[in-house]
Each structure stands twice: as C-alpha cells, then as structure tokens.
A and B are shown apart, each in its own frame.
Chain A
C-alpha cells in the first residue's frame, strides 16, 4: 500500500509543481484563512494566510497536501486564533453532496465495515451495526452517474431560486463541481457578505422550503378556529408559485397509485383532473370542490414541497467561518479537481471528464473491487481481484478510494 500512496503523492506533486496548472485566486486572497491536509501525516494545517496566490502555490508545490481549503470568510488577521481573527464578512456558500441526498442508485456501490465486529455490507451506512450496535464504520464510498445526476438536479433547483427569487445574476453565481460527488455554489456579492448566521439560516430555510405558512399545522389550526378564514391560499410568487406549478404538473401525470403514495385516496382528483386544476390551481378557488378537502391540498402541497426543496447541507451555509475546498485543487478521495463552470452549463458539464487532472499515461494496478465506471469517454470496470492497465486518472481514483494498489 505504501508504494500506492507514494504513487498518488508523486502525481499530486506533479500537479502542484506544473506551472501550467490553473489555480485561480479566490477573491481577496490576503483576507482568507487557508488550511490543508498533509498527505502522509494526515494532519490538518490551519490558520495560514497568504498575501498572494503565488505564495500559496509555492507552499502547495513544496508540501503537496492531499486536500486544500480556504475560508468562506474574510478576516482582518486570517492567521490569528479564531477569536482574534476579526471577521469582516463571508461569502454565501452552498454545498450539495450526494451523501445527503437519497439517490436512485441507493449507494449500492458504497461499502461499510463495522470497526468493532467486522460486519460489512453494501449501500447506505447504517446508524448502528445490526450485529453489535457499534457506530463506527470504515467506509468505501463511490460516485456513480446517478449520484452526480441527483446532486445536479438539487443544484438546478437551488440555482433557479437564487436567480428568480433572490435576483442574483448568473455572473454572481459561481458554480463548481466539488471534486467528489457534489457541487458547490459560491456567492461573493458585496450585499451578502455581512449577513450573520441567522440571516443565512433564513436563506437555508427558504431553499429547503422549511416553515412554509401554508403547510404549518399549528397555523392551520388557528386559521380553522377563525370563522370564515380561508384555509388554503397560494399567491403567485416564490414558493407559492413553485407549489402551484409542481402540483399542476404532478396531477396532470398522476395515476391512482401515485396519489396513493402521497396518501390521497379519492377518485375525484383523477376523474375531474382538468376541471379541478383549472378551478383550484389556476383560479385560486381551492375550497368547496366535491371530494377534494383542504387536507388533500395540504398533503399534495407537502409532497411537492419535498420535491421542490433543494437538499443542501444546512450546516455549511449557516457557518460563517466555514473552510471550503479551494477551486483548482485536487480532492484527496478521487484525484479529481474542484472546477468552476458557468451556471448555465450545469446540465452539460460532465465532471467525469471536465474535472480530470491526470490526462496522460497508463498504470498497471491490482484492483480488489470496483464497479463499472466511466472517466472521460472511456468505460471501465467492473473489476474484481485482477491486475489491469488503467489510464492514470482512473488508477489514481481507485487507489485514493482504497480499491486498488500499484501492481509490482
């Protein structure tokens, strides 16, 4: 295994020492805190600051870290202790990671092994070991096209809200592939920098649709107590519009089974679909429809809320001191780059080619276990206990994921 780590280290070193490697400087580099994980020591160096990107590059070339981060925050003294740094503001950052999203692949490519009793399995890592109830696991995770596709869809919903509801221009939105199995969105606009953690929490709640009054059970009870108060109203903006559009789309295509899955068991919604959509969703007359109660609308709205919410990592956005992976640096678990692409190219940008750092050469490796995967245009795998010659990027990825070793 040592030889394999050595090989990956050498490749990372080549990357950081190559003058043609592009590592864009973050806005106001001199005000950021930098941190990096040491390759061999597995030790996180923090509270570093650099007056320029060239100084940082020199350190990266010399130390060759496995992962590089910078603060979303701007500080007066980025290299001081946390409570003496002097926070002056922070970018607004969103992290969407397949880890936090239910994906259609069900993470069947991930493996876990209980540290305590050795029980192992595939799929989503359980909270506690079914054998010994232990909670520590060794995991080997993978990113497949379906994982990326799910993360991409969540990012799309986020970008739509940031543009249409929050009014950011596409120039304000910096969209990145994270280097593993997700996306980052950074906003550096002056107007958001001074927002505190509570303001950011409200933005998170907006993006996830948390606290929508129309779905609030306690408010609904209060409304019912007031005589003559309308129980269900949706206007034409933001989330209300989103709910209406999604409800219409869902109803138009819904079968009896789809409705059952939402907990709705009446025939009226299927049989008089068009008339109901017109009267309720288009004309706003939600009540007094035979067979469709306010409770039905609430169930439906709750279901589409879940669909329309963007499943971001809530902790990242609310943390005004967060360290985030630096653009143009390598991910220690894949050897892929964090890379920026235009917001409008979200659907077309292919991380498995656009984020490949090592484009030349081949390496002979012994692969213990790898599912079928793709890098660039090449379809590779599945492999099981076999020696194969792989393109450098694929070999680096499998070694980083502890699924392969350099063959002698």
Chain B
C-alpha cells in the first residue's frame, strides 16, 4: 500500500475519541468555551469531572458522552481541573489514564486511522509491507520504546533497515500510547492558572483528597533502617569492590552512592563509610554525596540508574532469580527486604 493510500482525514468522531490530537484542540477554539463559564456549562463540566475522577480511581477516562462537542470540550475542561489541583501525582495519573483509554480505542482502528494519528505526532511512518504492518523512523521508535521494559522492545531485537523499524499494529499502538501520555503531560505542565472561579478550586481540593486515598493504597515503603542483606547483587559487588579498595568507575560510584542515599543512609553515615575505602578524598566524596542527595546544585535528588542502564555499562553483575522480576535495584531491595521479613 502506498503511503498516500494509507492516509485519511480524521473525522469529528475521531476527535471525540482522541481529543488530544492537534486538530481537536483547534475545534475547541471554535466551541465558544471559556474558563469563566466553565462551571456553568453543566454537561461539559460534569463530563470533565467524571474524566478526572475515573482517572484517579480506575485509570481510565470514563464513559464517552453522546455528544461529540461535549466530549471534545470536556477534555479541555478536564485539563484545567487537573492543573487546578497543582498535584503532580494527579497530573501523571491523568495523562496515563488518557493514554490507556486511547490505547484501548486504537486497538479497534484500521491502519489508515492509526497512520493519521501517528502523523499528528509528526511520525515518519508508512506501510511496512512485506514484513510488518508499518515501518517508522528509528528516532520515533526510540523516543517511546527506550523507556519500555522487556527485551521485545529493545532496538537490537527489531527488524531495522536503513533507519526504518518494521512493526506490527499492536506495537505501534503501544508506542502511540506513550506519545499521548507525553503530550498530555506537557499540556498539564503549567504551575497554575490565575483567576480560576472559586468553585473550581474547591473541586480541585476534593480531587486532591481523592488522590491521597489512592496514593495511600499504592506506595510501597522503603524500610526505615538499612538492611544490607537485602542489597541487590550489583550493589553488593560494587560495595565489595569499594571495600577491597578496587577502583570504581564513575558510574559504579554514582550507582553505589545514589542507592545508599535512596535507601535512607544519611550523608554523614555515607561519608563515614567511604572513609574506610582506600581512594577516599573527603572534599570530592562530600561533594558527590551532597549532590546526589539533592543538597547542592539544582536540588534534584538523584535515584540510582535502572537495571538496563547498569547492563549497558557492565555494572550489572551476578543476576539472580529476583533480578528477573524487577527493573530497578531499589525495587529489588524492597521486595527482598519483604521476603526476609516474612521468612
């Protein structure tokens, strides 16, 4: 199939299903919709609230309204509600819920609609015959797949030829889900909207309370004291190397320090520990620890790299049974510690 045959113009029905598309936003501009009349537009407002509530509770955006206009406007209204919460967990959760809902809907779409959606994200995409449904430029693939877990997503395992990655429909839809999430997150990345009607602020507060109940159920807490027996093998290897005064690579040292900071070792305790290592340099060590702990520079607290990154740089060592089930050394620590406790 030639590329031109694959394309189709998206309809208002498509925009109601996928209101995050660029063209759908343009339609909203024509829908006579303003922030100040938001709460008086009852159908739109109810659907918007329904979107966010469902996202928080059930990770989807609820049942579609019958009227396409309401469906499109309520998407924009929901974004305003979410921004009004000023809550990063809700923002992330909402973006993910929109993306997952879109994913479920895209599974029923034909090749031409999917192509049109992908083009809305500026993808370099065309028919992938004779090998697969599609082929897409490798940078568009990586932008979305690089953060996915599982060897089936690794670039090295794709059919790639002259810069194009050949993919079937299911994988393209999964990658589009990532695009949707990123786009919605970007649209929510606004610290606040000034002069919102008081009613909206009150509802936003309710949404935050709802979210807090949900968060309470999900967090798995790190143990309060350091449990060395629960260290993953990579960290044990780094720890042993450092203790035996072997040289650690920059990334090895960063991994060890960031891991220990994140499981709750204080910078002072870490400094004491590193003192026992042979190539200890007080000024440098203190600087690195404080930097990682977010007490310097940008104030960002760093987490240690995930397993796949440690594999790339040959820091991953002695993988065991539990390693197969996790993607991050900290997750290993949490699970191992739990199993030690129950044993």
A interface residues, Cβ below 8 angstroms from B: 81-83, 127-128, 133-136, 164-168, 191-192, 194-196, 198-199, 201-206, 208-213, 216, 218-219, 235, 237-239, 314-315, 318
Residue of B nearest to A198 (CB): B146
Tell whether B155 is near chain A: CB-to-CB under 8 Å: yes
Given contacts A82-B297, A135-B278, contact A191 B156 (CB under 8 A): no
* Contact in complex: A81, B313 (CB < 8 Å): no
Nearest Cβ distance between residue B189 and chain A, in whole angstroms?
16
Which one of B70-78, B219-227, B242-250, B268-276 is at the interface?
B242-250
Residue of A nearest to B314 (CB): A314
Residue of A nearest to B140 (CB): A191
Which one of B50-58, B112-120, B157-165, B194-202 is at the interface?
B157-165
Alpha-carbon separation in the docked complex, A294 to B164 (Å): 30
Q: 17 extra interchain contacts, Cβ-Cβ under 8 A, other than A206-B154, A208-B312? A: A82-B297, A128-B246, A135-B246, A165-B160, A199-B139, A199-B142, A201-B308, A202-B154, A203-B142, A204-B312, A205-B154, A209-B156, A211-B308, A213-B157, A238-B158, A314-B312, A314-B314
Scoring A83, A191, A201 by chain B CB atoms within 10 A of each residue's CB, the highest score goes to A201
7 A-B pairs within 8 Å (CB atoms) are namely: A134-B278, A191-B137, A198-B309, A201-B309, A202-B146, A238-B161, A239-B156
Instruction: Please give, as numbers and ranges, the residues of chain A lying within 8 Å of B159 by CB-CB distance.
Output: 235, 237-238
Tell whether B211 is near chain A: CB-to-CB under 8 Å: no
* Contact in complex: B297, A192 (CB < 8 Å): no
* Contact in complex: B155, A135 (CB < 8 Å): no
Instruction: Please give, as numbers and ranges, the residues of chain B lying within 8 Å of A192 by CB-CB distance.
Output: 139
* Contact in complex: A203, B312 (CB < 8 Å): no
Instruction: Please give, as numbers and ranges, the residues of chain B lying within 8 Å of A135 by CB-CB distance.
Output: 245-247, 278-279
Instruction: Please give, as numbers and ranges, the residues of chain A lying within 8 Å of B297 by CB-CB distance.
Output: 81-83
Given contacts A167-B138, A237-B160, A238-B159, contact A83 B143 (CB under 8 A): no
Alpha-carbon separation in the docked complex, A318 to B142 (Å): 13
Given contacts A201-B146, A206-B155, A210-B312, contact A166 B138 (CB under 8 A): yes
Q: For the complex of A and B, list the 6 residue pairs with the smallest distance between their C-beta atoms, beginning with the closest.
A: A167-B163, A83-B298, A167-B162, A199-B142, A198-B146, A199-B146
Given contacts A191-B137, A202-B142, contact A212 B162 (CB under 8 A): no
Instruction: Please give, as numbers and ranges, the residues of chain B lying within 8 Å of A195 by CB-CB distance.
Output: 139, 142-143
Nearest Cβ distance between residue B240 and chain A, in whole angstroms?
13
Nearest Cβ distance between residue B161 and chain A, in whole angstroms?
5
How many residues from B make CB contacts under 8 Å with A?
41
For window 182-222 of B, CB contacts with A under 8 Å fall at none
Instruction: Please give, as numbers and ranges, the residues of chain A lying within 8 Å of B298 by CB-CB distance.
Output: 82-83
Which listed residue (B156, B161, B247) contacts A206, Cβ 8 A? Answer: B156
Nearest Cβ distance between residue B239 and chain A, in whole angstroms?
16
Given contacts A166-B160, A314-B312, contact A202 B143 (CB under 8 A): no
Nearest Cβ distance between residue B179 and chain A, in whole angstroms?
14
Which listed residue (B156, B157, B245) contacts A128, Cβ 8 A? Answer: B245
* Contact in complex: B247, A127 (CB < 8 Å): yes
Instruction: Please give, as numbers and ranges, the residues of chain B lying within 8 Å of A81 by CB-CB distance.
Output: 297
* Contact in complex: A210, B156 (CB < 8 Å): yes
Instruction: Please give, as numbers and ranges, the residues of chain A lying within 8 Å of B246 by CB-CB distance.
Output: 127-128, 135
Tell whether B295 is near chain A: CB-to-CB under 8 Å: no
Given contacts A135-B279, A195-B143, A211-B157, contact A164 B162 (CB under 8 A): yes
One digit per residue, 1 when the CB lies within 8 angstroms of any chain A CB and 0 when it does not, for chain B 105-145 equals: 00000000000000000000000000000000111001101
